[in-house]
């Protein structure tokens, strides 16, 4: 079914063409005897409604504003926004004081999206039609914020779990809309533009074709999307979701593709939860074309999932020492991670236990 490949068994480096950076892979370290130990965590029990949650319907937030009694999704401007539509202003003198001490004002907007009124759900546990509603809201927000004259990039993301810094377990994500291109987006933007100029093709279209031919890093796919562990993955169970059709942003998806995106997000997040039978933490976000009004033919819509867990519900991967000072390193190969995720069922472990 898939092309037979030989995965290197010794230490080697893998190249990430999207960021033009390297990751060190050391698969022989998986032979360390302490790997494979599995710890469990007590089942998390959350109510459908929490009177102390500042995201639940009808509750008062820290700002003093009261949420409406919403029944679907709910979007509001972040009460503690990292970006403001009017810059506090960095003086021209400060900007020009040295070629080594450079600062610029940055305008923007930050919003919060509550995925569901229910406090006890996550994307993995929501019905796929409710996830489709979230997809529609992402698209609406991307279009609305991107149309503002001072917004040049819209970053949609979700931090799930205390381990990833989420301050509230209520199912929600965020949108930060920037005046400038954020660093990771800038790197991907340049890499995709250069590849199109040099090869005459879309970088991620070519990459996806190779992955589908090979198959070993594919986790799941449906009619319009593929979820895979990137060849250059850094985090143990990192994945990337790519559209099969070359589209530059969420706004270019047709109705069937929106349904497929909701489906692949549910099936992938279920697999994450099933891996260690917990509500799996991660940071997830979409990368798509800038909103500066210019054509971006090189951009291919995709989402990154960065989960920190390594071998159990309580043991996580840390980026420290060599990784902070030299380059990222991983022990579990992308192929082995994909195989573990691929073999997990589409049914959530909570439903199976019931």
Q: Which residues are catalytic?
A: 172
Nearest-angstrom CA–CA distance, 28 and 30: 5
**How far, in Å, CA of 40 to CA of 33, rounded?**
19
Cα of first residue to Cα of last residue in the chain, in angstroms, is 35
Q: Which of 73, 101, 142, 103 is closest to 288 using CA atoms? A: 142
- With a CB cutoff of 8 Å and minimum separation 6, the contacts of 347 are 270
Tokens, residue 175: 């949108």
Q: Are strands 74-77 and 225-228 parallel, antiparallel or unpaired?
A: unpaired
Contacts for 303 with CB less than 8 Å, ≥ 6 apart: 240, 241, 284, 285, 286, 287
State how far the alpha carbon of 228 is from the alpha carbons of 79, 204, 216, 305, in Å. 35, 12, 9, 10
- Cβ atoms of 133 and 72 within 8 Å: the answer is yes
Q: For the beta carbon of residue 298, count every other beta carbon within 10 angstroms.
A: 22
Helix (H) or strand (E) holding 21: strand 21-25
């Amino acid at each position: 079914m898939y092309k037979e490949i030989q995965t290197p068994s010794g230490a080697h480096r893998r190249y990430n063409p999207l960021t033009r950076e390297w990751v060190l892979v050391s698969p022989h370290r998986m032979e360390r005897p302490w790997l494979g130990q599995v710890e469990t965590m007590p089942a998390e029990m959350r109510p459908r409604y929490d009177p102390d949650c500042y995201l639940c319907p009808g509750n008062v937030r820290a700002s003093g504003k009261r949420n409406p009694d919403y029944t679907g999704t709910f979007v509001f401007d972040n009460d503690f926004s990292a970006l403001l539509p009017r810059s506090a202003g960095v003086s021209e003198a400060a900007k020009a004081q040295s070629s080594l001490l450079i600062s610029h004002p940055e305008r923007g907007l930050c919003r919060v999206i509550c995925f569901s009124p229910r406090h006890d759900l996550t994307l993995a546990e929501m019905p796929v039609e409710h996830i489709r509603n979230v997809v529609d809201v992402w698209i609406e927000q991307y279009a609305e914020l991107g149309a503002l004259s001072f917004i040049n990039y819209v970053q949609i993301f979700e931090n799930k779990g205390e381990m990833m810094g989420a301050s509230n377990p209520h199912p929600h994500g965020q949108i930060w809309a920037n005046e400038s291109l954020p660093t990771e987006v800038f790197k991907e933007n340049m890499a995709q533009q250069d590849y199109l100029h040099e090869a005459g093709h879309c970088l991620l279209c070519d990459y996806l074709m190779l992955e589908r031919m090979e198959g070993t890093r594919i986790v799941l796919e449906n009619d319009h999307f593929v979820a895979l562990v990137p060849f250059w993955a850094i985090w143990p169970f990192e994945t990337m979701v790519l559209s099969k059709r070359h589209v530059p942003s969420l706004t270019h998806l047709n109705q069937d593709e929106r349904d497929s995106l909701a489906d692949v997000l549910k099936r992938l997040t279920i697999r994450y939860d099933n891996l260690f039978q917990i509500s799996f933490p991660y940071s997830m976000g979409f990368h798509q074309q800038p909103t500066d009004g210019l054509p971006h033919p090189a951009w291919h819509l995709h989402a990154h999932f960065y989960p920190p867990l390594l071998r159990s519900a309580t043991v996580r991967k840390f980026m420290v020492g060599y990784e902070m000072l030299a380059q990222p390193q991983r022990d579990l190969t992308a192929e082995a991670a994909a195989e573990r995720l691929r073999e997990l069922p589409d049914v959530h472990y909570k439903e199976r236990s019931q």
